[in-house]
Chains A and B, each alone.
Chain A
Amino acid sequence: MNAQVYNRCVGTRYCANNCPYKVRVFNWLRYSDVPEPMNWQYNPDVTVRSNGVMEKCTFCVQRVREAQNRAVLEGREVEDGEIQPACQQSCPAQAITFGNVRDPSSRVARAARNERAYRVLDAVINTQPAVSYLKKVTFHEVEAGEH
């Protein structure tokens, strides 16, 4: 996982320039400065980012840490599917799987081994991303593949 420490960010935006996926988002203005009671919409588990800092998806690191801590207290490993990032939890099509890719029996590892799986830009600039996408298979391509 890749994230920034918001309260140390000076805001040079160099990381965003270098991000080949352009997934980094800069806080151009004071978005968090909202009147009461709008401030209650913010997730209390997450730092509210201030004006002038960079941010990106953290894979809901607060949920990951919480599950890991719980597992440690209970003296066990984190179970597959125990951690769900918010996007997975709310996805109506269940298109998102999250888990430990290093555990070969996990759902996400099985999906990543699928022949439809690909990693964006990995073949071009060797970024070795943790996210795999499952390619859509069209009739046309199946036909072409059988030749």
Chain B
Amino acid sequence: MATATRAKRGALTHPDIGSYSEVNRDVLGILSRPGKGWWFLFVLAAVGVGVFFASWGWQIYQGIGVTGLNTPVGWGVYITTFVFWVGIAHSGTLISAILFLFRAPWRQSVYRLAEAMTVFAVMTAGLFPLIHVGRVWHAYWLIPYPNSRFLWPNFRSPLVWDVFAVTTYFTVSSVFFYLGTIPDLAAARDQAVGLRRRLYKVISLGWRGTDREWHHFSKAYIFLAALATPLVLSVHSVVSWDFAMSIVPGWHATVFAPYFVAGAIFSGVAMVITLAVPMRKIFGLESYLTIKHFDALAKLCLLTSLIVLYAYLTEFFMAWYSGEAIERASFWNRLFGHYWWASWTMLICNGIVPVLLWFKRVRHSIAALFVISIFINIGMWFERYVIIVTSLSHEYEPFAWGVYRPSLTEMGILLGSFAWFGFWFLLFTRLLPPVAIAELKEVLPLPYRRAAGEGEAR
């Protein structure tokens, strides 16, 4: 009975995959044959990483003055990009942990990709607070540890909470990611030769696929999924408190935590689509990442887009309803002030463009989904830019209003961060099985020797 429903599920999501050996061949094949497309992207990413570290080095040598930041706008592109990448990191755990606990069958094709994206996005995001601070060589002072200088961070500061939230999230999501890959690493080990074989041998921790090992593995996986689930909600709530706990008009709002969590999942799912479309093309994974998967991702995007749009409208409504002149001025400035174009980009990309996802024809068109996902990525970056920069540029005292323009160094670091993320992601597609082999096999029909004509009985 259970086998029959599983086979049916597999047939629904993967009509073209016939057997276990086909999965091994297709997925492990990716690891051994980098095409021209892969090399092109890899060189591009490596150059970008060079730009990234050159810009950062220049800034450390000169000081934060090489950015466009100045009073009153003390936070700009760096914090915007930090929040952007933390947001991207969210859908990974959502897809791998929450959808696992809810037994959503479509997750097994995309979850490895989403988890890898999570780990690399947190790795990217984690650099930005370091890039942002004035004295990066003292940034470790934010970590509480006993020391001879009697330094202790101020636990009333949301920035310290942020340090904990992000490091916890990074630890748990990396462990979860690694644990999930172990059976697949063993499968890769069994096919690899030479140096790769030795590498997989070590990192697959001697996995042999016995019943006992599977028993422990699935228990550990469930526990970690349960542990990771609250983190999906907590991390971005804490990031949002960096803003909500302050007294800056436009930041100080109770809606921020749920608003940021929804926005994070929204941007993360869009990024999964952005990454899955070229991967599917380059590695020929059409029968693994099917229209059904994209349809499910698009629906998740649509849902979170509606929540985000609702939050935007709530913010504007509350600014008006509060009757506070300063709050009202801040939001008026957001829509019609110096940064009007950023706000309207945000509203159009995140609120209006995703409306197209209501149509099944759009959800079933890979090209359309790819374009929409790019719009969402841009819109979500601008959302953070709007919240951070427009609010700071227009606070209480008119004499302290000001305008911020990002400098070339900041642009280099922003673009370089995408290269840094891409660099790790490209290495991942070559070193780890980018589709979960073992879980995919769970939904395929069981292989067994059959006499002719017996196949239909099962």
- Chain A interface size range: 20 to 34
Point out the residue from B65, B138, B248, B397 that lies within 8 Å of A17, measured CB to CB. B248
Q: A21-B396, A22-B395 are in contact. List 15 more A-B contacts (CB 8 A).
A: A9-B134, A9-B135, A10-B133, A11-B135, A13-B132, A14-B74, A14-B159, A16-B71, A17-B248, A18-B246, A20-B397, A21-B397, A52-B133, A52-B135, A53-B135
CB–CB A124/B326 < 8 A? yes
The distance in angstroms between the C-alpha atoms of A95 and B71, with both chains bound, is 26
A10 contacts B71, CB within 8 Å?
Answer: no
Name the A residues within 8 Å of B247 (CB-CB): 18, 20, 125
- Minimum CB–CB distance from B393 to chain A (whole Å) comes to 11
Q: Are B157 and A14 in contact (CB under 8 A)?
A: yes
Assess whether A10 is in contact with B63, with CB atoms less than 8 Å apart: no
Q: Which residue in chain B gives the minimum CB-CB distance to A127?
A: B247
| Smallest beta-carbon distance A33→chain B, Å | 10
A contact set with B: CB distance below 8 Å: 8-14, 16-18, 20-22, 24-30, 50-54, 120-121, 124-125
Is residue B392 within 8 Å, beta carbon to beta carbon, of the partner chain? yes
Task: Say if the beta carbon of B355 comes within 8 Å of chain A.
Answer: no
* Interface range on chain B (Cβ under 8 Å from partner): 20 to 34
Alpha-carbon gap, A10 to B130, bound state (A):
10
**How far does the Cβ of A4 sit from chain B's closest Cβ, in whole Å?**
12
Compute how far the CA of A22 lies from the CA of B399 in the bound complex, rounded to whole angstroms: 9
Q: Is B142 among interface residues, defined by CB-CB distance under 8 A? A: yes
Cβ-based interface call for B227 (8 A): no
- B54-70 interface code vs A (CB 8 A; 1 in, 0 out): 00000000111100011
Chain B, 134-153, CB within 8 A of any chain A CB: 134-135, 138-139, 141-142, 151
B133–A25 CB distance below 8 A: no
> Does any Cβ of A come within 8 Å of B72's Cβ?
yes
Given the complex of chains A and B, what is the CA–CA distance between A139 and B161 in angstroms?
53
A87 to B75, CA, bound (A): 30
Shortest Cβ distance from B40 into chain A, in angstroms?
39
List residues of chain A with CB within 8 A of the CB of B64: 11, 26, 28-29, 52
Distance between Cα atoms of A12 and B162 in the complex (Å): 12
Closest residue on chain B to residue A22 by CB atoms? B400
Chain B neighbourhood of A121, CB < 8 A: 396-397
Known: A11-B64, A121-B396. A28 touches B69 (CB 8 A): yes
B6-59 contacts to A, CB under 8 A, are none
Assembly CA distance A127 to B282 (angstroms) = 59
Question: Are A11 and B395 interface neighbours, CB within 8 A?
Answer: no
Q: Once the chains are docked, how many angstroms separate the CA of A121 from the CA of B129?
A: 31
Shortest CB distance A119–B (Å)? 13
Which residues from chain B contact A10 at a C-beta distance below 8 Å? 133-135, 138-139, 141-142
Cβ contacts B72-104/A at 8 Å (1 or 0 each): 101100000000000000000000000000000
Partner of B71 from the list A12, A18, A22, A125 (CB cut-off 8 Å) is A22
Contact of B395 among A13, A20, A26, A29 (CB under 8 A): A20
Residue of A nearest to B65 (CB): A28
Choice from B75, B134, B246, B397 contacting A52 with Cβ under 8 Å:
B134
- Report if A11-B62 is in contact (Cβ < 8 Å); known contacts: A17-B74, A22-B397, A26-B71: no
Q: Which residues in B have their C-beta under 8 angstroms from that of A8? A: 141, 151
